């Protein structure tokens, strides 16, 4: 696999583009911190871009199936680079409206780029190498997030916001040119159309989910980390304002990213010794504790520790949830199930984002995170009781 130049192009492209993405995200937070006083308005600005990506998700999926993946990646990659120009206009004029245009354009580009990338990965390696490449790709993305956020936090002290976006633009252009060198073996068009004709919609997935209570419960439990992740950027902005420090943003993203990687490594070590459901409930509980720790967000060390604890818990939680879905859902429904889950996550993400912005304005960061922590812990306890009941019912049916 490591002798395959396509693998290196994808991984280097992901790393460089990830750096550009997170330099831009930190820049967005800094710009909004200066120009937008209301947390609810901040959440609306962030939600507009996500909504544009969500609305175009089904179209992006169809286009990815019908057009060469490389062509989709090139056009959407170029679109991401061009979108940064709107952010230069926003900084020059001081207009939040230009930032909204930037958010919409970059999310639309991402809505097309990432499905095409995921569809391209199986074309560059053999099936037996696919799991390894997916794992390495995820770690490269996490590493770029850690370095990108840490670098942005340092650079904001010594360079202008415009220069930060210039570096982001340069990273997107590097990705665009790297994509030219990809060599993908596209499947025959007739095979694609036949596969699409045999594939139904989301409605066929719902009875499967309903017939597997443990899958339904796990699906709902994945909403618990979204209470934290949905308003993640708004929380970072608030902590930065609370402590009057721009550098704290980089420390928070870095600690969360490193802890996520450690969690993903740790859960592999214990997965054979503990039930996946025990792991799921344990780290769902830990996430609730991490949320409550942010009641002390005015203390830099405790704030960073809270995000580190959350990152570790999420690093253990998401791979475990994915394993449950992959082993419980029949393989012929995997594509539709994961597409449905992705759209559901994006929708809930927006709801939580708006709710976070509203609650930050109404009750402040510390009381809101305390409330979210109580909700997470209560939901975890409720689902654990339901799980025990399901387990006892299945055991009774087997013995009976």
Convert the pLDDT of each residue in 64-75 to its tens digit: 767 787 888 899
Number of domains, the chain: 2
Last residue of a domain, one of 164, 198, 232: 198
Last residue of a domain, one of 198, 215, 237: 198
> Quick check: pTM over 0.75?
no
Residues of the chain with pLDDT > 70: what percent? 84
Judge whether residue 216 has pLDDT over 90. no
Q: Is 259 found in the same domain as 159?
A: no
Give the integer Cα–Cα distance in Å for 256 and 262.
10
CATH number, residue 100: 1.20.1250.20
Judge whether residue 306 has pLDDT over 80. yes
Last residue of a domain, one of 166, 198, 230: 198
Q: Is 204 found in the same domain as 194?
A: no
Q: What digits encode the pLDDT tens for the residues 107-153?
A: 888 878 877 776 777 677 776 665 566 656 767 777 777 777 778 87
Residue 82 pLDDT class (50, 70, 90 cuts): very high
Write out the residue range of the structural domain in which residue 208 sits: 199-400
Which DSSP string do the residues of 25-94 spell out, in sequence order?
Answer: HHHHHHHHHHH---HHHHHHHHHHHHHHHHHTHHHHHHHHHHS-HHHHHHHHHHHHHHHHHHHHHHHHHT
Could you say which DSSP state residue 245 is in? -
Q: Is 258 found in the same domain as 207?
A: yes
Q: What digits encode the pLDDT tens for the residues 245-265?
A: 777 877 887 888 888 888 877
Q: Is 397 found in the same domain as 286?
A: yes
Q: Is 94 found in the same domain as 60?
A: yes
Q: Is 250 found in the same domain as 182?
A: no
Q: Which of 85, 249, 82 is nearest to 152 (CA)?
A: 249
Can you read off the two tokens belonging to residue 248?
A: 């704290």
Q: Is 218 found in the same domain as 144?
A: no
Q: What is the structure's pLDDT at 52?
A: 79
Q: Is 10 found in the same domain as 130?
A: yes
């Amino acid at each position: 696999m490591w002798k395959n130049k396509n693998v290196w192009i994808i991984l280097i492209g992901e790393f460089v583009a990830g750096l550009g993405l997170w330099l831009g995200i930190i820049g967005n937070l800094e710009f909004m911190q200066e120009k937008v006083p209301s947390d609810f308005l901040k959440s609306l600005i962030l939600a507009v871009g996500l909504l544009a990506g969500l609305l175009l998700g089904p179209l992006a999926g169809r286009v990815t199936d019908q057009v060469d993946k490389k062509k989709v990646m090139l056009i959407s990659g170029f679109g991401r680079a061009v979108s940064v120009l709107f952010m230069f206009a926003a900084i020059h004029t001081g207009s939040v409206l230009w930032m909204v245009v930037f958010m919409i354009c970059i999310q639309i580009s991402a809505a097309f780029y990432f499905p095409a990338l995921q569809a391209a990965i199986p074309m560059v390696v053999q099936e037996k190498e696919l799991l390894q490449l997916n794992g390495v790709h995820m770690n490269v993305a996490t590493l770029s997030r850690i370095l990108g956020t840490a670098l942005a936090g340092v650079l904001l002290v010594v360079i202008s916001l415009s220069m930060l976006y210039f570096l982001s633009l340069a990273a997107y252009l590097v990705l665009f040119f790297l994509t030219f060198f990809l060599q993908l073996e596209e499947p025959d068009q007739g095979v694609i159309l036949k596969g699409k004709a045999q594939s139904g919609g989301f409605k066929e997935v719902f009875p499967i989910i309903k017939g597997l209570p443990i899958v339904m419960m796990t699906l709902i439990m994945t909403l618990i980390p979204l209470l934290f992740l949905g308003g993640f950027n708004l929380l970072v902005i608030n902590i930065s304002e609370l402590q009057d420090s721009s550098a704290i943003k980089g420390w928070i993203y870095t600690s969360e990213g490193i802890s996520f990687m450690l969690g993903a490594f740790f859960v592999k070590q214990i997965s054979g010794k503990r039930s996946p459901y025990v792991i799921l409930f344990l780290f769902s509980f830990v996430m609730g504790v991490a949320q409550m720790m942010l009641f002390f967000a005015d203390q830099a060390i405790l704030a960073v520790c809270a995000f580190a604890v959350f990152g570790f818990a999420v690093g253990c939680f998401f791979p475990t949830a994915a394993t449950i879905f992959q082993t419980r859902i029949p393989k012929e429904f995997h594509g539709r199930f994961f597409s449905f889950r992705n759209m559901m996550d994006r929708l809930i993400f927006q709801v939580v984002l708006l709710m976070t912005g509203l609650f930050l304005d109404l009750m402040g960061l510390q009381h809101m995170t305390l409330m979210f922590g109580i909700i997470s812990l209560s939901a975890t306890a409720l689902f654990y009781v339901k799980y025990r009941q399901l387990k006892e019912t299945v055991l009774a049916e087997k013995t009976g």
